[in-house]
Amino acid sequence: MILAETPRRKLVTQLVTWGHWFALQNIVVAIIIAAIYILNSPAPITAIGNLYLFTNWISHIGFLTFFGFVILILPLCYLLSNAKTVKVISSIVAASGLALLAFDALLYNKFGVHLSIKSADLIRDEAQTVMSDFGWQQWSFLTLLFIVWFSFQLVVANALWQRVKRLQKRKLGLPISSFFVACFVISHGLHVWADAKLYQPIVKQDNMFPLSYPATAKTLMSRYSLLDIEDYQQRKALQFDQTINGINYPIAPVYCAVQNDQKVLLLGLVNGKISGS
């Protein structure tokens, strides 16, 4: 007996394929938007720091976007039987999410913070100040801007849907997913090493991207004698001591002329008493 694929199952398969390509398109857009974080942060001075920056940028933003797709869009492909409704809702979700990412990037550029509960008071005060000067022209412009952005998402969604059968034949899922997984593993592996070594070109990038929680393994490494936790705490205390960092040493060696015909008096303080030689 030949088991034919039901229309409902065929539609779900096409929607899931479309959804993955729609997510990939938005991952690329999100990565471009996230370049704002990089352009407004000090550039790493080492090759390893730049490698971590690149892999963390690609993997973290890609993961956030794909996670949003899995949570908010993928269930629609199984629950709704109308492809047009799925495309419209997905376009609204994608437009809103990327607009939120752009707002967070601008907030980080101006204040150095991300959207969070801690920054809620700052955002509220700033929003009240800005919105008090808003007129109907500004609100109309923002509304038009979102409509244009939503329309772009809808155009892309329809274009991908029209080509979904051809996209199903392309075996690009494994290479693309392998690239993002490789970036994810490299970035977190480098951060584990940098966190143990207190390697500043990498560690100082911890708060660059939103919702960033890089991997650390100090407890695990100390358990297998790969890291002396006491030595680590001492090095961390010295490295992040503001009083020590504030000391300015001469860049070039300091020399003084020695004259053999003159006596030199050396004073030293030992146990609260001054002694000379």
- Output the six-digit token pair for 101: 């990412």
Is residue 193 pLDDT above 70, yes or no? yes
Q: Which residue has the higher pLDDT, 23 or 10?
A: 23
Q: Count other Cβ atoms within 10 Å, centred on residue 142.
A: 12
The answer to whether 222 touches 229, Cβ cutoff 8 Å, is: yes
- From CA 119, how far away is CA 125, in angstroms rounded? 10
Q: Which residue do the tokens 């997984």 mark?
A: 181
- Judged by average pLDDT, the poorest of 39-48, 98-107, 150-159, 244-253 is 244-253
Question: What pLDDT score was predicted for residue 2?
Answer: 47
Question: What pLDDT score was predicted for residue 107?
Answer: 85
Is residue 143 pLDDT above 50, yes or no? yes
Mean pLDDT for the chain? 82
Question: What pLDDT score was predicted for residue 69?
Answer: 94
Q: Which residue has the higher pLDDT, 168 or 211?
A: 211
Q: How many CA atoms lie within 13 A of 63 on its CB side?
A: 21
Name the pTM for this structure: 0.78
Question: What pLDDT score was predicted for residue 142?
Answer: 77
Question: What pLDDT score was predicted for residue 241?
Answer: 52
Q: What average pLDDT score do residues 130-143 get?
A: 69
- From CA 146, how far away is CA 224, in angstroms rounded? 53
Phi and psi torsions of 126, nearest 5°: -65, -40
Tell me which H or E stretch contains 197.
Answer: helix 173-197
Longest dimension (CA), the chain: 113
- Output the six-digit token pair for 141: 């412009």
- Judged by average pLDDT, the poorest of 33-42, 145-154, 207-216, 230-239 is 230-239
Name the pLDDT band for 145 (thresholds 50, 70, 90): confident
Q: What are the CA-CA distances from residue 201 to residues 41, 52, 142, 191 (Å)? A: 12, 9, 38, 10
Is residue 12 pLDDT above 60, yes or no? yes
- From CA 249, how far away is CA 195, in angstroms rounded? 27
- From CA 201, how far away is CA 179, in angstroms rounded? 24
Question: What pLDDT score was predicted for residue 91?
Answer: 94
Indicate the SS3 state at residue 264: coil
Is residue 93 pLDDT above 90, yes or no? yes
The string of pLDDT tens digits covering residues 48-80 is 999 999 999 999 999 999 999 999 999 999 998
- CA 202 from centre of chain: 13
Phi and psi torsions of 176, nearest 5°: -70, -45
